Amino acid sequence: QITLTESGPTLVKPTQTLTLTCTFSGFSHSTAGVAVGWIRQPPEKALEWLAHIYWNDAKFYSTSLKSRLAITKDSSKNQVVLTMTNVDPVDTGTYYCAHLHTSNYHSYDFWGQGTLVTVSS
């Protein structure tokens, strides 16, 4: 079955760069139609889509955060990495990675459990 697990620091200082890793199993990121995305959720707030990367290495980013985000994949390691530069306390929240397939109208059908990131000095 498909599983995804997020990992990274729990505490980051303002202005630093945040690096999160999504390690997955049960699918290949080389399969046509597959993408892995990142979504975050500030405490007690709504979900916010950040970015995703397709099997063919096509990458898409949130318009408002595009200048600060970078997403890469390593299909041999079954990992997707998201980096966010110049973090601020407003970036505090739970970060999820999720699997997407274009055959399901690009919906996120499997999610990781999330990792809580706090930005504070």
Partner 1 sequence: DIQMTQSPSSLSASVGDRVTITCRASQNINTYLSWYQQKPGKAPKLLIYGASTLHSGVPSRFSGSGSGTDFTLTISSLQPEDFATYYCQQSQSSIMYTFGQGTKLEIK
Binding region for partner 1 (CB under 8 A): 37, 39, 46-49, 52, 60-63, 96, 104-109, 111-114
Among residues 46 and 90, whose Cβ is nearest to partner 1? 46
Nearest Cα neighbor of 74 from 36, 112, 115 is 36
Among residues 77 and 106, whose Cβ is nearest to partner 1? 106
Q: How far is the CB of 19 from partner 1 (least distance, A)?
A: 21
Q: How far is the CB of 53 from partner 1 (least distance, A)?
A: 12
Cβ pair 119, 8 in contact under 8 A: no
Nearest Cα neighbor of 5 from 20, 33, 18, 24 is 24
Longest CA span, the chain: 43
Taking the CA atoms of the chain, what radius of gyration do you get in angstroms? Answer: 14
DSSP string, 51-65: EEEETT--EEE-TTT
Q: How far is the CB of 69 from partner 1 (least distance, A)?
A: 12
Among residues 27 and 96, whose Cβ is nearest to partner 1? 96
Among residues 31 and 107, whose Cβ is nearest to partner 1? 107
